[in-house]
Amino acid sequence: MNVAIVGASGAVGQEFLKVLDEQNFPIENLKLFGSHRSKGKDYIFHGKSYTVQELTENSGPEFQDIDFVFTSAGASVSKQYASLITSGGAIMIDNSSAFRMDDDVPLVVPEVNGADCFNAPRNIIANPNCTTIILVVALKPINDLSPIKRVRVATYQAASGAGGAAMDELVEQHRQLSNNETPTVEKFAYQLAYNVIPHIDVFQSNDYTREEMKMFNETRKIMHSPDIRVSATCVRVPVMRSHSEAVWVETESPVSVEAVKEAFSKAHGVKVLDEPLAKRYPMPLELAGKDEVFVGRIRKDLADDNGLNFWLTGDQIKKGAALNAVQIAKYIISHSK
Amino acid sequence: MNVAIVGASGAVGQEFLKVLDEQNFPIENLKLFGSHRSKGKDYIFHGKSYTVQELTENSGPEFQDIDFVFTSAGASVSKQYASLITSGGAIMIDNSSAFRMDDDVPLVVPEVNGADCFNAPRNIIANPNCTTIILVVALKPINDLSPIKRVRVATYQAASGAGGAAMDELVEQHRQLSNNETPTVEKFAYQLAYNVIPHIDVFQSNDYTREEMKMFNETRKIMHSPDIRVSATCVRVPVMRSHSEAVWVETESPVSVEAVKEAFSKAHGVKVLDEPLAKRYPMPLELAGKDEVFVGRIRKDLADDNGLNFWLTGDQIKKGAALNAVQIAKYIISHSK
């Protein structure tokens, strides 16, 4: 396959390179694109050096022989260049929020709705929001037991969700505080070190944030469940990598904890880590860099007889971004013809 | 008033001294007690030095002239010495979990059920669990609008909930990591720096932790609401001081966001900090050391028409422990005779 990466120098772009390697993605040719600032940077892939080209309105010819383009350079770049990128027939797998809710763009998590990949008239497939991806991977097996009606979810989101510079800032804040220096605050609204911030992305008119509304809207689209009601509170925590979520799920009919554990254990992309007495439960520090969504603390919801309560951790750069995008491409390859 | 503090050298014990001062508590005589290890330590209060005495089975005479004894030395010490402490008529305000669920011991948050103080046949009043105190202060004004049926709550609990040594360990972990040293892990099950741990206190047979079941049981007792159903997920986060909670509340009949905001703004012990567009919402780093429970992010629960969703932050050493205990004593003084 001929593959291009747009936004190659970013945190997710770099993860694309890593995941394409880990997943043994069949690559014949690779092209890297970025902003004017990233132009000329070299990256090694499979022992060969690749130079980042600047993406411009004249880049069209570069995409004519490409099969898959992984884009992660923000919504405005995706919008500006989507026609150019797909002009030669390439499939654009877009990590931004630009097209996620467009009716003619499928929003895909392969474990949940892989078949939607083949209904992409614009040759664009959207990669969902990271927090939503790791949630729906865990919701799917429950929904197969009994349709889910309501979801409440409180998130514990790592600095990496805001990019590599935000991760650096958190480390720098801790270094500064350890040396009695004033911490630098640029990437988040407030100091994140020794703090939690209940605010991710911009506020909407209903006083939910855009991040929280992504979880509401994208879950409905991915799961083909137009009535599912997701109420989220999204919170940044001083963790480097991997998001965690405390989840309450209400199903149409009661499902037992045992049935859910069994469904989780058989589900693709899910790993059960639930041995309370052995102190085994998902934690971001331990699970950063892993492919799967880890679920634990699975128990009845004490507030509702049809409810379940559990905890999950997933690496939002991997399954929450680069890995899910590469899995979309792999799904298309393996399910074509 | 003659006052004694048991566990004077601990994080909460030290906070008792600070809060008694801040609250202008009318003190004539003060006695400090502690373990053999703390014996002989001196603390200054109102310009006068007080020496910690060791609490032993022979300490009975020391409590004969005492009006209020604030105890925070763990459940086993409270159980062992309760009869001795109250033998001369002193009221023991106990911060441990020893007596909280005993029928003949009131469990009191003055803003919610202050009158219960006068139904204490054993002269023991229990101070609730910190996470529960800050929750019920916020639940009360909503419950007055329409009875609360269900509560889901995910917590973001600071290191201080595990004591002063745990706070020191978190700072030391960050210092060690900033210097490329291996972090010391003793006070928590896992490294807390750059991590979140969904496990506080020991697991019960229903796979909830004792901390989570305290929120279920103590909320019912404090609010005189035997049917309220609280489902909690309690999580330790790398914050020094002040717990935060993401809360979903379902009421018998719908209550508007406006009505709840107004009720919060009039409620004792609550402060509304809810200006999303100005990025004003409660955060632990900003609010550590404050007396009130701060509420924000108040909005309709997207998952339930009778539901509300909000966020709160409260200092668990202050309102969650020392301040609430001192407020109990003040309530008794001001409402006696």
A203-254 per-position pLDDT tens digit: 999 999 999 999 999 999 999 999 999 999 999 999 999 999 999 999 999 9
Q: Is B268 assigned a catalytic role?
A: no
Whether B210 contacts chain A with CB within 8 A: no
Whether A151 contacts chain B with CB within 8 A: yes
d(C-alpha A207, C-alpha A187), whole Å: 22
Q: How many CB atoms lie within 10 A of CB B22?
A: 14
Q: Which residues of A touch B285 (CB under 8 A)?
A: 190-191, 194-195
Tokens 């799961």: give the residue: A223
d(C-alpha A149, C-alpha A248), whole Å: 11
Query: What is the value of ipTM here, to two decimals?
Result: 0.95
C-alpha distance from A332 to closest chain B C-alpha (Å): 34
Q: Which two tokens stand for residue B271?
A: 């402060």
- Cβ-contact B38, B60 below 8 angstroms: no
Whether A220 contacts chain B with CB within 8 A: no
Q: Which residues of A touch B196 (CB under 8 A)?
A: 156, 237, 239, 244, 283-284
Q: Would you call A137 helix, strand, or coil by DSSP?
A: helix
Report the residue from A175, A279, A303 with minimal CB separation from B229.
A303
d(C-alpha A297, C-alpha A300), whole Å: 10
B window 69-98, beta carbon within 8 A of A: none
C-alpha distance from B172 to closest chain A C-alpha (Å): 9
Question: Which residues lie closer than 8 Å to B205 by C-beta, 6 or more apart?
Answer: none
pLDDT of residue B163: 83
Residue type, A289: G
B100-142 per-position pLDDT tens digit: 999 999 999 999 999 999 999 999 999 999 999 999 999 999 9
Q: Is A46 assigned a catalytic role?
A: no
Is B204 buried (19+), middle (13-18) or exposed (0-12) by CB count in 10 A? middle
A42-97 per-position pLDDT tens digit: 999 999 999 999 999 999 999 999 999 999 999 999 999 999 999 999 999 999 99
B window 279-298, beta carbon within 8 A of A: 279, 281-286, 296-298
Q: Which residues of A touch B287 (CB under 8 A)?
A: none
Report the residue from B151, B199, B299 with minimal CB separation from A207.
B299
Q: How far apart are the first and last CA of chain A?
A: 16
- Contact criterion met (CB < 8 Å) for B309 and A197: no
Q: How many CB atoms lie within 10 A of CB B121?
A: 9
Q: Which residues of A touch B166 (CB under 8 A)?
A: none
Res A23 pLDDT > 80: yes
A36, A46, A243, A268: which one is catalytic?
Answer: A243
d(C-alpha A43, C-alpha A45), whole Å: 7
pLDDT of residue B253: 96
Mean pLDDT of chain A: 96
User: Could you give phi then psi for residue B239, rounded to 5 degrees?
Assistant: -120, 145
- Those residues of chain B that have pLDDT short of 70 are 337
Choose among B100, B47, B246, B211: nearest CA to A155: B246
pLDDT of residue A11: 86
The model's confidence at residue A164, banded by pLDDT at 50, 70 and 90, is confident
The model's confidence at residue A162, banded by pLDDT at 50, 70 and 90, is confident
Whether B177 contacts chain A with CB within 8 A: yes
What is Dmax (Cα atoms) for chain A?
62
B window 238-277, beta carbon within 8 A of A: 238-240, 244, 246, 248, 250, 257, 276-277
- Contact criterion met (CB < 8 Å) for A244 and B196: yes
Pairing of strands B270-272, B293-300: parallel
Q: Which residues of B touch A298 (CB under 8 A)?
A: 207
- Contact criterion met (CB < 8 Å) for A152 and B281: no
Question: Which residues lie closer than 8 Å to A180 by C-beta, 6 or more apart?
Answer: none
Q: Which of B260, B283, B300 to mutate to test the interface with A (most CBs of A within 10 A)?
A: B283
- Contact criterion met (CB < 8 Å) for B196 and A311: no
Residues in chain B: 337
pLDDT of residue A249: 98
H helix runs in chain B, sequence order = 11-22, 75-86, 110-113, 130-145, 164-178, 210-223, 257-266, 284-287, 323-335
C-alpha distance from B6 to closest chain A C-alpha (Å): 30
B125 forms beta bridges with B93
- Contact criterion met (CB < 8 Å) for B244 and A198: yes
C-alpha distance from B1 to closest chain A C-alpha (Å): 39
- Contact criterion met (CB < 8 Å) for A203 and B277: yes
B271 forms beta bridges with B294
**H or E element in which residue A230 lies:** strand A229-233
pLDDT of residue A251: 98
Q: For the whole model, what pTM was predicted?
A: 0.96
Cβ-Cβ pairs closer than 8 A, A with B, add up to: 179
